[in-house]
Amino acid sequence: MNITIIGAGPIGCYAGYLLAKSGHTVNIYENHPQVGVPIQCTGLLTSDFDQFNLPKESFLINTLTTIEVYTPNNKITFPNQREYLVCRTKFDQFFANLAQQAGAIIHLNHSFQSKEGKNIIIKDTKTNLIKTITPEIIVASDGPLSPTAKAFNIYRQNRKNYYGIQAIVNSPFNPDAYQTFFGQEICPDLFAWIVPESKTKARVGLASQHKTKELFDTFMNKHHFQPLEIQAGLIPLYEPNQILQQDNLYLLGDASGFVKATTLGGLIPGLKQAEILADSIHNKQDYQKQLNPLTQKMKLHLRVHTILAKFTDQDWDYLAHLINQPKIKKIIKQHTRENPAPILIKSLLKEPRFLLYLKHLF
């Protein structure tokens, strides 16, 4: 089968690798001159990444073992964790190389332009040459604003995006621990982070739907950080009513909005989604139906996000107080944030006072 993938990010390239390995003809079109540039992601992965059985040596920067959570007046420490910090450029290029080794062809400097009947129009941005192609399958993996999904008229117009800003900074850090900061003055609708690459360098940032630059500058000044490099980009908020497949078009990764609404992490859900996509295409199965278990996780993340986005500083402090109990920390230690269901269920059984926060759903 002749398959075109728009976007050579890690999710699109992983799908390309799986499809090419299954014997399909795969062409991947990327509008940038280099895979993995510009960087628009922190690059922090939970230990769930291990399920893909992929070598990490070429892109791993740091393995973190502790999470520190700060609310306005409290701090919680979660030891014995395992999180991987990756170089996003090398991470993306790893998946691009994987796809190419399986037989996929990556076309750099090629931008999706439009849809004309059964054809799609691709422009070589170096030569301005226009190409008309007629693939049997089209996979849109071209980011949160997905020009491809819009051209096919399935992009849901009420979708929301966060704007994230991150800086690389030099300062003394504990290389084993990454920090998250919650509260109205820090970031009212999400959180800020400090993720160390080493003892002397870290990635510092936050994401918000409103006044992101102002909040970011305030956070940087509070910690006396001077940016060595600034990275920024849009991050989609999961939209449960987004159509993911219509006719021969499939949405994947950020283009589909498959990002955890609690943390805006999309790499592990996207890689899992790529596996489901490749299997659905190869075995002629219903993509949206096969995605249902993953979709249910995305919906739960969104419900939790809806609650947390309405928190006051007092809510954050009281939540920290409840979580900081040994019986709750023991539960959190047993699970990653990829699947919140067991954490929520077990925590509610151990501590019914968590039910107080359900008021924010209504």
Whole-Å CA distances, 111 to 11, 156, 251: 18, 22, 17
How does pLDDT run along the chain (362 residues), one tens digit per residue?
999 999 999 999 999 999 999 999 999 999 999 999 988 889 999 999 999 999 999 999 999 999 999 999 999 999 988 999 999 999 999 999 999 999 999 999 999 999 999 999 999 999 999 999 999 999 999 999 999 999 999 999 999 999 999 999 999 999 999 999 999 999 999 999 999 999 999 999 999 999 999 999 999 999 999 999 999 999 999 999 999 999 999 999 999 999 999 999 999 999 999 999 999 999 999 999 999 999 999 999 999 999 999 999 999 999 999 999 999 999 999 999 999 999 999 999 999 999 988 877 66
| Sign of the four-CA dihedral 300, 8, 286, 158 | positive
Do 353 and 297 fall into the same domain? no
Residues 354, 347 contacting (CB under 8 angstroms) = yes
Give the pLDDT confidence of 290-299 residue by residue, as tens digits.
999 999 999 9
Token pair listed for 357: 């926060």
pLDDT of residue 358: 80
312: helix, strand or coil: coil
pLDDT of residue 361: 67
Phi, psi of 133 (to 5 degrees): -125, 155
pLDDT of residue 48: 96
Residue in 106, 104, 134 with CA at minimum distance from that of residue 24? 104
Q: What is the CATH number of the domain that holds 171?
A: 3.30.9.10
Residues 56, 275 contacting (CB under 8 angstroms) = no
Alpha-carbon distance of 123 to 9, in angstroms, equals 18
Domain span holding position 151: 2-37+88-159+239-303
Domain end position, chosen among 183, 212, 236: 236
Do 292 and 208 fall into the same domain? no
Whole-Å CA distances, 362 to 188, 303, 306, 310, 312: 19, 11, 10, 11, 16
The most distant pair of C-alpha atoms in the chain lies apart, rounded to whole Å, by 63
Do 219 and 247 fall into the same domain? no
pLDDT of residue 360: 75
Domain end position, chosen among 214, 236, 258: 236
pLDDT of residue 9: 97
Do 203 and 98 fall into the same domain? no
Listed in sequence order, the residues at least 6 apart from 20 whose beta carbon sits closer than 8 Å to its beta carbon are 26, 99, 102, 103, 104
pLDDT of residue 362: 65
Count up the domains in the chain and report the number: 3
Do 297 and 323 fall into the same domain? no
301: helix, strand or coil: helix
Helices (H), the chain: 10-21, 88-101, 147-151, 212-222, 267-282, 287-290, 292-308, 313-323, 326-333, 340-350
> Beta partners for 287?
none
pLDDT of residue 219: 98
Do 194 and 326 fall into the same domain? no
Give the pLDDT confidence of 125-152 residue by residue, as tens digits.
999 999 999 999 999 999 999 999 999 9
Token pair listed for 50: 């291990």
pLDDT of residue 16: 98
Do 27 and 97 fall into the same domain? yes
pLDDT of residue 40: 80
Do 176 and 277 fall into the same domain? no
Domain end position, chosen among 236, 260, 295: 236
Whole-Å CA distances, 86 to 57, 69, 74, 80: 10, 21, 29, 19
